[in-house]
Amino acid sequence: MIFWISSRKSVLNVETDWELHIQSSDNFVRGFFLCFSQESVYGILRENAKDRRLMGIKMKHLIDKLGREKALTKTEWITLLNGRTPDLAEYLFAKARDIRHQHYGRDIYIRGLIEFTNYCRNNCYYCGIRRGNEGLKRYRLTEEEILSCCKNGYELGFRTFVLQGGEDGFYSDEKICHLVSKIKEEYPDCAVTLSIGEKSKESYQAYFDAGADRYLLRHETADEAHYKKLHPAEMSYQNRMRCLRDLKEIGYQTGCGFMVGSPYQTVDTLWEDLQFIRRLKPQMVGIGPFIPQADTPFGKEPAGTLEMTLRLLSIIRLIHPTVLLPATTALGTIHPLGREKGILAGANVVMPNLSPVGVRKKYLLYDNKICTGEEASECCGCMMRRMQGIGYEVVVDRGDHPLYDKKR
């Protein structure tokens, strides 16, 4: 049985303009509902409206509790993640912005992204530079090209350089250490961030001793069963967790993160992600929407949504107030104002691309990636204008976590 109320008018006045429609094979049930009085139907609508108001009050209470206590029960987490209305979203975003302003004001930290190799030994099911993508044109930047990117970035005001690449065996520990040392020697007031995947603790220590300040390694999911659905059997969830623990123990400003809307992700796996972030207490968390890449096993899967990504950015800001939180390029890819919306949801970092224009389209983690044809100066200028347009200011600063030991 299905029943609903409709009106030919654009705004329904249930007291004067209404029709009750019923679909049922049961004549008795049909007759019963046709006997409903107008007052009864109006009462049902009032109760529904009351329920919605009560749910809104409950959701705001959960958001307030999260802001105070940095934690919820699992049931409360799931209720919060499932409760989605524009009014509640704006309430959540405003709370996250307030906390972000308490710790960082309206400053936006920029990181200069240098994608120096798209070779990778891994075969992750979601990634466009996976080993099995035989149609991808591979490249490696030379030391001179990498240092040229740093020079260009420094002149534009960048004080953090992010060396990002696949797990490429060509770059031995010795080569990575040499690169880090060279950058720190030429730009001693700058931070160096590495994002080059899973390594031994000894390798991580060597990079740190050479001068690396930060390390980004997305955990992708904190649910082991989910991890196995995103990666081939030779990749280990336990090893990914070991890497993140090692990075924290060594003393890096450590970043983890995950894709929002990845295949097989559920509210339960998101809850595991949030609990993992609470336990690890990373200095950085990078999240962005899953965007399929056509030449991967997940090439036909639906993308993650802007809405859920923004909600999770705000939630992460509430549970970890001082975290360095990027508004990612992927956000800007799924929506023209995605990065601005990310900042307004509590993020405080953006990562313009300093890589040579000639290689950017080859670093194809996902399809339709933005900013692959702009020179670094154009990209940086555009970002500054975008941030000013929403009342924020890109600053010339390393942008360290507040608790970082500045003596390094």
32 in the same domain as 171? no
208 in the same domain as 108? yes
Query: Quick check: is 330 in a domain?
Result: yes
Query: Quick check: is 9 in a domain?
Result: yes
| Domain span including residue 17 | 1-36
298 in the same domain as 174? yes
CA distances (Å), 174 to each of 129, 141, 147, 203, 204, in order? Answer: 24, 16, 17, 9, 12
Q: Which amino acid belongs to residue 288?
A: G
For 104-147, the pLDDT digits (tens) are 999 999 999 999 999 999 999 999 999 999 999 999 999 999 99
For 152-165, the pLDDT digits (tens) are 999 999 999 999 99
pTM over 0.85: yes
Structure-block tokens of residue 353: 């691309």
Q: How many domains does the chain have?
A: 2
For 238-259, the pLDDT digits (tens) are 999 999 999 999 999 999 999 9
386 in the same domain as 245? yes
For the cut 60, the answer to whether the pLDDT of residue 7 exceeds it is no
State how far the Cα of 401 lies from the Cα of 253, in Å rounded to an integer: 7
21 in the same domain as 111? no
123 in the same domain as 264? yes
213 in the same domain as 319? yes
pLDDT for the residue numbered 404: 84
Which residues, in sequence order, are CB contacts of 52 under 8 Å at separation 6+? none
Query: Quick check: is 168 in a domain?
Result: yes
21 in the same domain as 109? no
Which residues, in sequence order, are CB contacts of 285 under 8 Å at separation 6+? 255, 256, 257, 277, 316, 320, 323, 324, 325
Query: Quick check: is 243 in a domain?
Result: yes
pLDDT for the residue numbered 375: 85
Confidence class of residue 17 from pLDDT cuts 50, 70 and 90?
A: very low
146 in the same domain as 23? no
280 in the same domain as 384? yes
Query: Quick check: is 189 in a domain?
Result: yes
